[in-house]
Amino acid sequence: NESDSDTFKSIYDLEKIRSLYSNLDTISFWKIKDQINILEQRGYSTKEMQGKFQKAISYPFFLVSMVLLAGVFTLGKQYKESNWMYVFMSIFSCILIYFCSDFSLALGKTGKLPIEMAVWMPVLIVFVFSFVGLIHVNQK
């Protein structure tokens, strides 16, 4: 029976599980899929880990979309009189995008949206608006 208790301890090591959920930034990107599979087999919720994994994959695309958005604000600058208003609008839009992205991720973690949709939707929306804005600014 001692081997059964050792097996039970190794499968349900509470300290290891607590350490996984206490700081998800310490988990390697390359090992997160394995950790998700292990925790799903044990019956634990993996929404936060899946959110972190999807966010890590979408982050380069998010950065590209933010660069495109910066292009919209800087390329149209020559047609605007007030540079301060342009700076204020760009900072406000970036803050709005940041909070909408976090809100969407929270909806995914609670199960209101699928986690993939919750992570990728803000990235795609910003990308589409930035791309359309660049086309519009380029046509002026």
Mean pLDDT, the chain, rounded, equals 79
**Residue whose entry in the numeric block shows the structure tokens 């097996």:** 7
Across 1-120, the runs of DSSP E, i.e. the strands, are none
Is 120 a residue whose pLDDT tops 90? Answer: yes
Of 107, 127, 130, nearest to 119 by C-alpha is 107
What is the percent of the chain with per-residue pLDDT over 70, rounded to a whole number?
Answer: 76
Give the pair of three-digit tokens for residue 122. 């803000």
Convert the pLDDT of each residue in 7-66 to its tens digit.
555 555 666 665 555 566 667 777 778 777 877 777 777 787 888 888 889 999 999 999
Q: Distance of alpha carbon 128 from its chain centroid, rounded?
A: 17
Write out pLDDT tens, residues 58-70: 999 999 999 988 8
Residue 83 pLDDT more than 80? no
More confident residue, 126 or 83: 126
The pair of three-digit structure tokens given for residue 108, joined into one six-digit string: 């995914």
CB atoms within 10 A of CB 99: 11
